[in-house]
C-alpha cells in the first residue's frame, strides 16, 4: 500500500472524527452547568439575564441537599461547572470535601469584600441576608440594639426565636464564639434561653406573627423575610404580621456591625467549562445582577454601592460585621454543642 493510498483511506474517518469533536467542543463552549440547592425560581431571572448578555446557555440541576456528595461521587466525569448554595457553612463544606477549585479574578476580588470570600478563591459570596431584630412597633424607645442584649434580664419572657440548631442561629452563635470565646457565649446563650417567651421553634416569620399575637416583644430573624412579608409575596396574613413590627439592624457590642449570612458559589473541581463558570460568577457580581438579586429575593447586594430593593433599603444602612466567614464556620461544631449543653431548644 502506498503512502497516498493510506492517506486517502484514513482521511475520511479522521475528518469525521475531527468534525464530531469540533461540534462537541462548540456546544460545550456555549454552556455552563450549575448544581444548586437554591430555589430554581429565585435564581432563574439572573440566569436568563446572563444568557441574554453572554450567549452562554445555563443548565441547572436543583438539589435539595447532598451537593458535595453528588459532585464527589461523579468525580472527574462530573458535568458540574458551578456549585451554588446558601449559608457560608455549606460553602466551606464544599471546600473541605475537595470538590472546588481556586479562582483568581480581579472582577470578583474587587466586587466582594475580603471577609465575604475564601482567601484562596475557592468560593465567593454573591448576596447577603442580615440577622436583624424584629420588635413590637409600639416600643418607641427602642431605636438601637446589640445581639448581646438578647440576654439582658429586662427581656425576660419577651423573646421569640427559631431553633438554636438552625443554620441561621448557628452562624450567629459561631460569630459570638469567634468574638468572645466559648465560655462567654455559653453564658450569653443561657441568658437568651431564660428570656424566651416560648420554646425556640418555628420559622423566622413566626417571630413577627407572635409579636402581633402578643406572645413576645422582640426576636431575631432574617432581613429578607421582611421583604417577603411587606411586599405581599407572603400573602395578606403575613402583611399583617409585618405591620406589627419594626426592624432594627443590630450590631455586636464591639460596634463591628451586623451579622450576615450569604448565598454564594464555587467553581467545581473538574468543571468542563471553567471559563464560562468564571464568566457567570463575574456577571453575578455586576451591578445589573446584584440589582436582580435585590429585587427578586430581597437580599442585600454583596457588592458595595449596588442597588438595594426599596423595602430593604428602608431598614437603614447595613454595616457588615468584619469577622472572616471562614473563621466563623470553624466554630459551628462548638456552637451546636453549646445549644445542646444549655438545652436551648428544650
In this prediction, residue 270 has a pLDDT band, given cuts at 50, 70 and 90, of: very high
On whether both 140 and 241 belong to a single domain, the answer is: yes
Report pLDDT digits (tens) over 129-179: 999 999 999 999 999 999 999 999 999 999 999 999 999 999 999 999 999
On whether both 198 and 295 belong to a single domain, the answer is: no
Mean pLDDT (whole number) for 218-223: 98
On whether both 120 and 267 belong to a single domain, the answer is: yes
On whether both 46 and 110 belong to a single domain, the answer is: yes
Report pLDDT digits (tens) over 53-92: 999 999 999 999 899 999 999 999 999 999 999 999 999 9
**Which one, of 136, 140, 139, 132, lies nearest residue 257 by Cα?**
132
In this prediction, residue 40 has a pLDDT band, given cuts at 50, 70 and 90, of: confident
The CA distance from 322 to 257, in Å, is 7
* Pairwise pLDDT comparison (75 vs 11), residue with the higher score: 75
Residue 70 belongs to a domain: yes
On whether both 181 and 327 belong to a single domain, the answer is: yes
Residue 123 belongs to a domain: yes
On whether both 199 and 334 belong to a single domain, the answer is: yes
Cell 431548644 belongs to 345
CATH of the domain at 224: 3.40.190.10
On whether both 301 and 244 belong to a single domain, the answer is: no
117: number of Cβ within 10 Å: 26
On whether both 11 and 109 belong to a single domain, the answer is: yes
Domain of residue 239, residue span: 129-259+321-341
Mean pLDDT (whole number) for 314-337: 96
On whether both 250 and 158 belong to a single domain, the answer is: yes
Cβ atoms 128, 298 nearer than 8 A? no
Paired with 57 in beta bridges are 31
pTM of the predicted model, to two decimals? 0.88
Query: What is the number of structural domains in the chain?
Result: 2
**Which one, of 228, 210, 234, lies nearest residue 296 by Cα?**
228
On whether both 171 and 207 belong to a single domain, the answer is: yes
Res 252: pLDDT = 97
Residue 250 belongs to a domain: yes
On whether both 220 and 329 belong to a single domain, the answer is: yes
Residue 316 belongs to a domain: no
Amino acid at each position: 500500500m502506498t503512502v497516498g493510498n493510506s492517506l486517502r483511506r484514513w482521511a475520511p474517518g479522521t475528518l469525521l472524527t475531527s468534525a464530531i469533536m469540533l461540534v462537541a467542543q462548540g456546544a460545550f463552549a456555549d454552556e455552563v452547568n450549575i448544581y444548586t440547592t437554591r430555589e430554581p425560581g429565585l435564581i432563574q431571572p439572573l440566569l436568563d439575564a446572563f444568557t441574554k448578555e453572554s450567549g452562554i446557555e445555563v443548565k441547572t440541576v436543583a438539589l435539595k441537599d447532598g451537593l458535595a456528595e453528588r459532585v464527589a461521587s461523579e468525580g472527574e466525569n462530573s458535568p458540574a461547572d458551578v456549585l451554588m448554595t446558601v449559608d457560608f457553612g455549606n460553602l466551606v463544606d464544599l471546600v473541605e470535601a475537595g470538590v472546588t477549585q481556586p479562582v483568581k479574578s480581579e472582577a470578583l476580588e474587587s466586587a466582594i469584600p475580603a471577609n465575604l470570600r475564601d482567601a484562596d478563591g475557592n468560593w465567593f459570596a454573591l448576596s447577603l441576608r442580615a440577622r436583624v431584630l424584629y420588635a413590637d412597633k409600639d416600643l418607641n424607645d427602642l431605636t438601637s440594639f446589640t445581639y448581646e442584649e438578647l440576654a439582658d434580664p429586662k427581656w425576660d419572657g419577651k423573646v421569640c426565636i427559631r431553633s438554636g440548631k438552625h443554620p441561621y442561629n448557628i452562624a450567629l452563635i459561631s460569630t459570638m464564639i469567634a468574638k468572645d470565646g466559648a465560655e462567654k457565649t455559653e453564658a450569653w446563650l443561657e441568658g437568651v434561653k431564660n428570656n424566651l417567651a416560648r420554646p425556640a421553634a418555628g420559622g423566622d416569620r413566626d417571630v413577627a406573627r407572635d409579636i402581633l399575637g402578643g406572645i413576645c416583644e422582640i426576636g431575631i430573624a432574617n432581613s429578607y423575610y421582611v421583604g417577603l412579608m411587606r411586599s405581599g409575596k407572603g400573602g395578606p396574613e403575613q402583611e399583617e404580621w409585618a405591620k406589627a413590627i419594626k426592624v432594627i439592624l443590630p450590631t455586636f457590642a464591639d460596634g463591628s456591625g451586623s451579622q450576615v449570612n450569604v448565598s454564594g458559589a464555587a467553581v467545581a473541581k473538574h468543571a468542563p467549562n471553567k471559563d464560562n463558570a468564571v464568566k457567570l460568577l463575574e456577571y453575578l457580581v455586576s451591578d445589573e445582577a446584584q440589582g436582580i438579586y435585590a429585587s427578586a429575593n430581597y437580599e442585600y447586594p454583596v457588592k458595595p454601592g449596588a442597588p438595594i430593593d426599596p423595602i430593604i433599603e428602608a431598614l437603614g444602612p447595613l454595616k457588615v460585621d468584619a469577622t472572616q466567614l471562614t473563621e466563623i464556620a470553624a466554630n459551628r461544631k462548638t456552637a451546636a454543642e453549646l445549644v445542646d449543653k444549655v438545652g436551648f431548644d428544650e
